[in-house]
Structure 1
Amino acid sequence: MASETTSDGAGENTESPFDAAAKAFGSTASGIKEQAEAKAREYAGQGKDRAVDALDNVASLVSDAAAAVDEKLGDQYGGYIRQAADAVSGLANNLREKDADELVDNARDAVRNSPAIAIAAAAAVGFLIARVVKSGLTPNTPANDGAEPRTPTPSPANETSPTA
C-alpha cells in the first residue's frame, strides 16, 4: 500500500471544504488586519503631525503674549508665560521625536500607573472640546432654535405702585 486512503477512499492530503474555507478566511482576515493596522498607524502619524503643528502654534502665541505681559505687568509675569511657552514647545518636540506606536505605549503605561489622572485628563479634554464646539455656534443655529437672546424683564415684585 503505497498510498493510504481514508474511509471514503480519498487521499490523506485532501482537505474538507470547511477546512479550505477556514484557511481562506484566516488568510483574508490576517490580510485585512494588517491593512487596518497600517492605516491606523498612518492616521496616527497624521494626527501626531497635526498635534505637533498645533502645539507649535500655541507655543508661538503664548510666547508672543509674554511680550505684552512684560509691558503691562512686568518681566516676572512675562517670564512665567515664557516658561509655559517653553514647556509647550518642549512637548511638541517630544511628540515630534516619537513614533505613533511609542506614544500609544506611553499612554497605556500612564493610564495603568495613574488611572485617576487619565480619567480627569479625559474629562478635561472632553470639556474643552465641548466649549470649543459650543463657542463656534452662531446665535441663529439650531442649538438655541433660532430664538433671539432674551432681554431681562423687571420683576413685578420690585415695582412700586403709583397709588399712594
Structure 2
Amino acid sequence: MAPTQKTQAPKPATATAVTAPEPTSTAGTEEAKSRFNAAIGEAKAGAAALKSEASARSHDMADDAMARAGDLAVEGKAKASDALVSLSKLVEENAAMIDEKFGAKYGDYARRASGYLTDSAKTLNEKSYEELGEDAREAIRKSPATAVGVAAIAGFLVSRLFRR
C-alpha cells in the first residue's frame, strides 16, 4: 500500500476591497483657488487701509507734538529771559553793598555782570529758538570740552533742585 498523502485544500482568498480614488473635480479646485485669491486680495487691501490710517494718525500726532514742543520752547525762552533780568536786577541792587564790603573794583565787576545779564536777556528775547539752537550747536563745535563741563554742572544743579 502506498502511503497516502494529505493534500491540503487551497485556502479561500480573502477579498480586500480596493477602492479607486475618486476623480477630483477641476471645477472645485478652481473655485477654491479663486476664493483663496480673493481672500488674499481682501487681506492685502485691509492691511493697506490700516497702514494708511496708521500713517495719517502718526503724522497728526507728530504735528501735534511739534506744535507743543514749539510752544514749550517759546515759553521756556520767556521764563529764562525773565530769570536773567531778575538776576541782573539783584546783582545791580547789591553792587553798592559789594563796593562797601569788598571795594569799588568788585562792585564794578558786579555792575558789569549785571549789564552782561541784561544784554543776554535782551538777546534771548530777540532770537527765535531755532537761532538759539544753532548758536548752541556752534558753541559746542567750537569748544566741546566746555560744553561737557557746563552740561555736567547744569545736571548737578538740576539734580540738587529735584532732590529737595
What TM-score comes out, normalization by structure 2 length? 0.67
Helix, strand or coil at the partner of 2:75: helix
Quote the residue 1:105 is aligned against. Answer: 134
Quote the residue 2:27 is aligned against. Answer: none
Report the count of equivalent residues: 124
Quote the residue 1:58 is aligned against. Answer: 87
1:73-95 deviation digits (Å, cap 9, x = unpaired) = 33222111100111111111111
After alignment, is 69-78 or 44-53 more displaced? 69-78
Pair 1:89 & 2:113 matched: no
Tell me: higher relative CO, structure 1 or 2? Use CA pairs within 8 A at least 6 residues apart.
2
Provide the C-alpha distance between the structure 2 equivalents of 1:31 and 1:113, rounded to a whole number of angstroms. Answer: 37
Displacement of 1:131 in angstroms is: 4.1
1:43-99 deviation digits (Å, cap 9, x = unpaired) = 111111111111111101111111111223332221111001111111111111112
Q: 2:156 aligns with which of 124, 127, 131?
A: 127
Unaligned runs of 5+ in 1: 1-6, 10-14, 138-164
Q: Once superposed, what is the RMSD of the aligned Cα atoms?
A: 2.2
Quote the residue 2:147 is aligned against. Answer: 118
Pair 1:22 & 2:51 matched: yes
Per residue, is there more helix in 1 or in 2? Answer: 2
**Which one has the largest radius of gyration?**
2
Structure 2 CA distance for partners of 1:58 and 1:22, relative to 1, 3 Å: same
Pair 1:35 & 2:64 matched: yes
Quote the residue 2:74 is aligned against. Answer: 45
Structure 2 CA distance for partners of 1:86 and 1:119, relative to 1, 3 Å: same
Percent of residue pairs bearing the same amino acid type = 36
